[in-house]
Structure 1
Amino acid sequence: MIRQWFLTMHELLDDLIVRYPNASGEEMTRLLEQWNMLKSLSDDIIESWLNFEDKMASFRDLQQQDNVIPEEPQKFLDPFIKGQGYFKLQMFTNATQKLQEAVAAYPDFIAARLFLGMSLMHLQEWNEAQRHFQLIAAVTEESKLQAIAYNALGCIQAIHAHLEKAQSYFRKALEADPSFKDPQRNLESCRQGTGQLQLQFGSSELQTMVQV
């Protein structure tokens, strides 16, 4: 199918190359429009291919994990690295499984718990995600992590139509990190009271429309 598609593209471009030198003004305009269409398709193909190559590279990273890490750290680092890779590939069920292994092996591993919570958010497993983000917000001293956790908790409350609690969490996120844009947008969305909320989580990685 792909070869046939490219063959058709080549045929169209060959026809343009032959006809363009002797084309009249009106025909030349039509040929230029066809060329612009082919150029746009070409740009889209290149961008899609580059994104595909990025995901292929992420999967290769999962396959190339070696055994140079000491045995005890490897119990949580290996599943964490693989979980991160699955997360980048947007394979959130696989990511959740690996990250749960990492958290089980080392419950204080905040980075693993953070990615686990984000994976659960994508899977819409709100209650379990809430548990992890509550723990992160309670124990971390990193302002950015606190902001991410509070923003996630606000999104979960908004999804359950608890808007006052949601706004409280969004304000806490902004107090922790005033530069974080997601809780500001979420707070404004809650205040509008238009009947629907568009929530942003993880730099717009998760957008949810909810009825209120």
Structure 2
Amino acid sequence: MFKHMFAVMNEMLDHIIANLDQAKGNERQELLDQLAVLKSMSDTCIEEWLLFEEKMGVLHPKPATALVDAPSPALGDSQAWREAYERGHGFLKLLMFEQSIEQFEEAVRLQPDFLPARFYLALCYMQHGDTGEAYRHFQFIIQLSGDSRLKAVAYNAMGCIQVKKRNLEKAVELFMLAHEQDPDLDDPIRNMQVLTGETGSLQMGSGFPH
């Protein structure tokens, strides 16, 4: 259901991107109206997903050993970390990675076990060129997450970092771990094909549900 909905939303957005610059008058206004609707739908999905994750966290708390040093967010911080997370997404859409990092860091500080925020923080660090920080956060995700898809995407991204460092054997090991976690994720297999000299480029994280 959600996959089909986002496929339609992406199709609409592609149409807007392709035509907005050339559109004039009523046609341009119509495209802007459609963009506003898509933005509203996206914001609603994020908000509802955050609420769902929050409730799931109550039913399935993380192991105490994994969070022994993590400060518990104060009661008044609940809204603060959610707002920081949403601001981080906003900056990320604008490719403003430094600002995204600041916001996702704040979200992670207030809610250390909310892994989607940590995942996007790691991706922003990668885009900003700080692969060391990115790698550290991906390792943290693997230790904490019980979700095989999220672990697979994290392993895959770590493999891409190792490729950039020319540690190809380690990269292959990580791509294999990603494939073991989630055989349905295509990126690790594609990345191993890239390493063997076949055509294509590294795929870092297209399997993560945005």
Q: Output the TM-score relative to the length of structure 1.
A: 0.63
Q: Does 1:93 align with 2:98?
A: yes
Query: What displacement does 1:90 show?
Result: 2.3
Please identify which structure carries the higher strand content: 1
Alpha-carbon distance in 2 for matches of 1:110, 1:92: 18
Q: Structure 2 CA distance, aligned partners of 1:204 and 1:47?
A: 30
CA distance in 2, matches of 1:79, 1:151: 26
Query: In the aligned structure 1, how far is the partner of 2:162 from the partner of 2:136?
Result: 13
Q: Measure, in 2, the Cα distance between the counterparts of 1:53 and 1:125.
A: 33
Match of residue 77 from structure 2: 72
Aligned pairs for 1:56-71 (under 5 A) are: 57=39, 71=76
Change (3 A) 1:43 1:134: closer
Q: Which structure's CA Rg is the greater one?
A: 1
Deviations 1:3-37 (A, max 9, x none): xxxxxxxxxxxxxxxxxxxxxxxxxxxxxxxxxxx
Structure 2 residue runs without a partner (length 5+)? 1-15, 23-27, 48-74
| 1:96 shift after superposition | 0.8
2:85 and 2:104 in contact (8 A); partners too: yes
Tell whether 2:159 aligns with 1:154.
yes
Matches within 5 A, 1:1-212: 44-46=18-20, 53=35, 57=39, 71-192=76-197, 198-203=201-206
Matched AA of 1:80:
Y
Q: What is the CA deviation profile of residues 91-124 of structure 1, one whole-angstrom value per residue up to 9, with x for unaligned ones?
A: 2221111000111112111111011011111112
Identity %: 36
Deviation at 1:47, TM superposition (A): 7.7
Counterpart AA for 2:19:
I
Q: Secondary structure at the match of 1:173?
A: helix
Displacement after TM superposition at 1:136 (Å): 0.5
Unaligned runs of 5+ residues in structure 1 are 1-41, 206-212
Partner AA of 1:121 in structure 2: M
User: What's the secondary structure of 1:198's corresponding residue?
Assistant: coil
Moved over 6 A (4+): none
> RMSD between aligned alpha carbons?
3.4
1:204 to partner: Cα distance:
9.2
One-letter amino acid of the structure 2 residue matched with residue 157 of structure 1: Q
Offset at residue 197 of structure 1 (A): 7.9
Aligned mates of 1:47, 1:204 — CA distance in 2: 30
Letter of the structure 2 residue corresponding to residue 78 of structure 1? E
Q: What SS does the corresponding residue of 1:114 show, helix, strand or coil? A: helix
What is the letter of the counterpart of residue 89 of structure 2? Q
Tell me the TM-score normalised to structure 2 length.
0.63
Task: Report if the CA contact (8 A) 1:190-1:197 is conserved.
Answer: no
Residue 200 and residue 73 in structure 1: after superposition, are their counterparts in 2 closer, same or farther (change >3 A)? Answer: same
**8 A contact 2:77–2:110 mirrored in 1:** no
Answer 1 or 2: higher relative contact order, Cα 8 Å, separation at least 6: 2
